[in-house]
Amino acid sequence: MSNATSTATMELRVSNMAENLIGSEIIKLAGEIRQLMAQGEKIYNFTIGDFDPKIFPIPTKLRDGIIEAYIQNETNYPAADGIAELRKAVAALIQKWQNLNYGEQEILIAGGARPLIYAIYQAILDPGDRVIFPVPSWNNNHYTHLSHATPVFVETTPENNFMPGAAEIAPHLSGATLLALCSPLNPTGTVFTKTQLEEICDLVIAENNSRNASEKPLYVMYDQIYSALTFGDTQHFDPVNLRPEMKPYVIYVDGISKSLAATGVRVGWSFGPKKVIDKMKSILGHVGAWSPKAEQVASAHFLQDEAAVEEFMMSFKQEVIQRLNGFYQGIQSLKQDGFAVDAIAPMAAIYLTVKFDLKGLTSPTFGKIETTEQTTAFLLKEAKLAVVPFSAFGASKESHWYRLSVGTATVADVESAITSLRRALSSLS
């Protein structure tokens, strides 16, 4: 047998990590959506946590600043932890918005929030270490797998707006290494109350006080990438403000991706204990996950222009909440008319938490709906509505709850999507 034949018939082996890495259910759903759209169907695609730049463009001054930075040949490698001017601007922003004092050496810039989250996991966790996170939540299960760590799923409930409480977390803290929290939460758009977060912080402080100097502490990753997008009376709370004793243990994740509709610009930052930040810098230096230098230069200039930032944010938030409220009111109208739907009032981010309790119902064209997967398929094929089940974020496959993202929705889409949904639900019996 020739070498070529032998190679062709040999089963190629990869790492156990890669072999068992679960693909994104959102990407799988996106493939089905593309197929239907290629057939000429109108699909209301509210699956992706992104913005249509034709609907939600980045600030004009930021865009022009990026272009100018490229014209000025800002195209070489940036500093490994981010250019000094941007870290200085971020330090000022943290002070202004959150009244937190972090020096430039405690701040790390990277190409968006994702590499920073990856670096936190890699910097803190050893194989087998336990990571606690609520479900539904975005990608913590995958980052835990990438880190060869052990996941601890904390299933949350709609009665608590899908935010984890101290009582749910407490049984798992002993010996754990990382508690991964996010507020406002992706996928729900809900937030911690002051009391909820205070109680969790008190648990973390007590757990760390019980450990000896040779043990790793229990760290908290606090993803607040949506913190600027809160609406109405909703307030954003963070651990170190509520409990200053938390400062040695908390690593924050933030950036401009969501607050400035700049997901593709790739400018994110993390801040926290210097030792952890330094290790994250080394990890990302080897990965090469820097934010592009021109984008960093432009972001530094824009973030220092407080008037421009506030003007953009005011208009942007009004557009987002208009869509969230429109969908919420539409779902509540359907509920009042007897359809098996519900929604949690919008609080923050670009997401609405929606319930479709359709199991056991029958469509004359689709058939009987018996699983969440069939509910998702019915909504897509009959209502032309694409939304993401919470099971894609680690929740039970029996969950009736879904994430609806408004980042690609026009104002006109809101009414027409609800009309399409009403038509499809009316066919069920």
The 10s digit of each residue's pLDDT in 206-253 is 999 999 989 999 999 999 999 999 999 999 999 999 999 999 999 999
Q: Is 210 exposed, middle or buried (0-12, 13-18, 19+ CB in 10 A)?
A: exposed
Do 260 and 356 belong together in one domain?
no
Answer yes or no: is 54 within a domain: no
Answer yes or no: is 397 within a domain: yes
DSSP secondary structure code for residue 108 in this structure: E
Q: Which of 261, 286, 304 is the last residue of a domain?
A: 304
Residue 3 pLDDT class (50, 70, 90 cuts) = low
Answer yes or no: is 1 within a domain: no
Do 25 and 153 belong together in one domain?
no
State the total domains in the chain.
2
Do 187 and 276 belong together in one domain?
yes
**Taking the alpha carbons of 409, 415, 416, 417 in that order, is the dihedral positive or negative?**
positive
Q: Which of 286, 304, 322 is the last residue of a domain?
A: 304
Do 178 and 241 belong together in one domain?
yes
DSSP secondary structure code for residue 119 in this structure: H
Tell me the DSSP string of 359-416: TT-EETTTEE--SHHHHHHHHHHHS-EE-EEGGGGTS-TT--EEEEE-TT--HHHHHH
Q: What CATH number does the domain containing 104 carry?
A: 3.40.640.10
Q: What are phi and psi of 348, to 5 degrees?
A: -165, 175
Do 338 and 268 belong together in one domain?
no
Residue 28 pLDDT class (50, 70, 90 cuts) = confident
As a whole number of angstroms, the distance between CA 289 and CA 284 comes to: 5
pLDDT in tens, 262-317: 999 999 999 999 999 999 999 999 999 999 999 999 999 999 999 999 999 999 99
Tell me the DSSP string of 239-286: HHHH-GGGTTTEEEEEESTTTTS-TTT--EEEE--HHHHHHHHHHHHH
Do 260 and 320 belong together in one domain?
no
Answer yes or no: is 13 within a domain: no
Specify the pLDDT at position 165.
97
pLDDT in tens, 135-148: 999 999 999 999 99
Could you tell me what percent of the chain has a pLDDT over 70?
97
What is the span of the domain harbouring residue 362?
20-49+311-426
Do 245 and 292 belong together in one domain?
yes
Q: Which of 304, 339, 371 is the last residue of a domain?
A: 304
Q: What CATH number does the domain containing 317 carry?
A: 3.90.1150.10
Answer yes or no: is 391 within a domain: yes
Do 257 and 132 belong together in one domain?
yes
Counting Cα atoms < 13 Å in the Cβ hemisphere of 161 gives 18
Whether residue 16 has pLDDT greater than 90: no
Specify the pLDDT at position 177.
98
Answer yes or no: is 3 within a domain: no
Please state the separation of Cα 36 from the chain's center in Å. Answer: 27
